Amino acid sequence: MEKETILKLKEDLIKDLENVTNSHDLEEISIKYLSKKSTLSQAMQSFRTLSREEKVEYGKLINEVRTFIESKISEVSKKVKEKELIDKLESDKIDITAPSSLISTGAKNPFYLVSDEIVDIFVSMGFKVVEGPEVESDHYNFELLNIPKNHPARDMQDTFYINSNLLLRTHTSPAQAHELEKNPNKPLMIICPGKTYRRDDDDMTHSHQFAQVEGLVVGKGITLANLKATLELFVKKMFGEKREIRLRSSYFPFTEPSVEVDVSCAECNGKGCQVCKGTGYIEILGAGMVHPNVLKMANYDPEIYSGFAFGVGIERVAMLRYDINDIRKIYTNDIRFLNQFKKRG
C-alpha cells in the first residue's frame, strides 16, 4: 500500500471528526479507522510481503498513524461524553417549583374528630384520661355504681353477657369505679372515653355499640355549681360561645341529684324550631352528684368528700355537631360520607 494512502488517513480522520456530534458517530469513525476492515488493518496485512528495511520504515509509519488515530479519537470521545453528560443533566433537571400532582389523602371519621376534641377540652381543664376494659364484671358495671341485682335500672342497660358475671360494659362508669378503688380518699378529676354496648335495636339514633366519655370529679366541697360550670364550658367550647345549657332533673342510680343537660338549639338560638321540636333545647348528656353509696363502696367518706359525674355519647355529639341524621353513617365507612370531613385548606 502506498505510504501516501496511509498518511492521508490522518487528514481524512480530522475531517471526519469535525462532523462528530455524539458517541454513536464516534463509534462509526472508530470502526472505519481501527477495525479489521479498516485501511490501516489492510496495510498491516501487506506488511508480511515486505523486505526487512521496508518493514522497519513501513512499521514506524503505521504505528505513528495508528497512535495518531487513537489519540485523536479518544480526545474527541472525552469531549463528546462530557457534552452528552451535560445535556442529560440539563434534560433531567427537576423543577422543584412545579405544582405537584394531587396526593389523595383520607379523612378522619367524624367520630374521631369529635372524640379527640372532647378529650382535648377536658384535658385542657385538668382532667386525666383513664381507660378501662370493655369486658367487665357485674360488680364494676353495676354493683359498685349502686345498681344492685334486680334493680329496675338494669332494664335500661341490658347488654351482652359472656356468662352470668361477665358482660360487655354498658357505660364507661366502671372505669371510674376502678379508679376510685385505686385511690381511696384522694381527690380526682378523670374522664373515661371508650366503647360501650347495650341490647338496643339499631335505628337512626341507636346502635348496640356506641361510645361515651364519662367524667368524674371527686374532692372536698364539690357542688352542683362546679358541675354546671364545667359542663357549660365544655358546651361552649364544643358547640360555640353562644350556646347555653339547661339542667333538668332526672334519675340515675349512681348520682343524687341527677340531671339531664340540654344545650340551646343552634338553629333557632333557643326560640324553638323544627330541629329542637319547638323546645329551644336539645338533650346532650346525663350528669349528677355522685351518690353517697358509690363513694362509700369505694371507701371514700361521703361526709368529707363529694363529687360530680357526667356521661356524654360521642356519636350524639358528632351528630349534633355535624348535622348527621343517621348514627349508622358513622360506622359504615362510606367514602362519600367520610370525604366531607376532609380537612380544608
Q: At its nearest, how many Å lie between ligand PHE and the CB of residue 306?
A: 14
**Strand-pair category, 128-129 with 188-197:** parallel
Quote the least distance from Cβ 288 to ligand PHE, whole Å: 5
Q: Name the residue nearer to ligand PHE (CB basis): 30 or 207.
A: 207
Q: Round to whole Å and give the CA distance between 345 and 158.
A: 45
| Closest distance to ligand PHE from the beta carbon of 333 (Å) | 26
| Shortest distance in whole angstroms from residue 313 CB to ligand PHE | 8
Residue closer to ligand PHE (CB basis): 29 or 287: 287
Nearest distance from residue 317's CB to ligand PHE, in Å? Answer: 14
- Shortest distance, position 252 Cβ to ligand PHE, whole Å: 4
Closest CA to 250 of 232, 224, 216: 224
Under 8 Å between Cβ of 133 and 141: no
Q: What is the separation of C-alpha 145 from the centre of its chain, rounded to a whole number of angstroms? A: 37
Residue 223 grid coordinates: 357542688
**Beta-sheet strand order (sheet of 245-252):** 128-129, 188-197, 209-220, 305-313, 281-290, 255-264, 245-252
- By C-beta, is 30 or 172 nearer to ligand PHE? 172
**Cβ-closest position to ligand PHE:** 311
305-313 vs 281-290, strand pairing mode: antiparallel
Contact 209, 197 (CB under 8 A): yes
Choose between 58 and 310: whose C-beta lies nearer to ligand PHE: 310
Residues that bind ligand PHE (CB under 6 A): 171, 173, 214, 252, 255, 286-288, 309-311
Q: Residue length, the chain? A: 345
Q: Indicate the burial class of 23 (C-beta count within 10 angstroms; 0-12, 13-18, 19 or more).
A: middle
Cβ 250 to ligand PHE shortest distance, Å? 8
C-alpha cell at 336: 362519600
> Between 58 and 252, whose beta carbon lies closer to ligand PHE?
252
310 touches 285 (CB < 8 A): yes
Phi and psi at 58, nearest 5°, equal -65, -40
Closer of 20 and 192 to ligand PHE (Cβ): 192
Q: Which of 229, 238, 232, 214 is nearest to 127 (CA)?
A: 214
Which of 85, 229 has the CB closer to ligand PHE? 229
